[in-house]
Amino acid sequence: MARALATYISLPGTTAEAMHHWHEIFGGELNIMTYDDVPMEGMPFEPHPGAVAHATLDFPGGSIAGSDVVDDKTYPIRDTAYSFLLTTQNADEARGYMAQLIDGGGSEAMPFEQAPWGGWYGQVFDQFGVMWAFSCDEDSPRPQLI
């Protein structure tokens, strides 16, 4: 039986930077191993110096793993076909994460508002082009407007 589902992403040489950025926002435990630390004998490719072979960020409520792309192809990162969805305890927590991702060089894709299906939902693209979606249960209180 499966134990847990985690997100895995390969970025174009920015995995270490992204993982450090996400660690600053979400906290948790960060581990990064580069190909410099891995025996390369028998590997079918030649990674760039310092390329990330495997990184993990385990934080309250989630886990992200990833590595750097090891070929010279261009892969789209910024897209709406996927997102990292984080369900928070309340709307203020989600808004806080969204603000940190935007302040870190990201942009709002969808404001955090009550969703037609109940609850709250919003989206941001971080500085790396990754779309983050945030949600919380419908019984989360509406924020006080002053």
71 pLDDT band, cuts 50/70/90, is confident
**Domain 7-40+48-68 and domain 84-136 have a common topology:** yes
45 pLDDT band, cuts 50/70/90, is confident
**Domain 84-136 bears CATH identifier 3.10.180.10:** yes
Cα 31 from Cα 133, distance rounded (Å):
24
Residue ranges of domains in the chain: 7-40+48-68, 84-136
Contact call for residues 99 and 44 (beta carbons, < 8 A): no
Which of 87, 94, 79, 82 is CA-nearest to residue 62?
87
Map 29-85 to HEC letters: EEEEEEHHHCCCCCCCCCCCCCCEEEEEEEECCEEEEEEECCCCCCCCCCCCCCCEE
* CATH architecture label of 7-40+48-68: Roll (3.10)
**Model pTM score:** 0.86
Query: What share of the chain in percent tops pLDDT 70?
Result: 92
Residue 141 has pLDDT above 80, yes or no: no
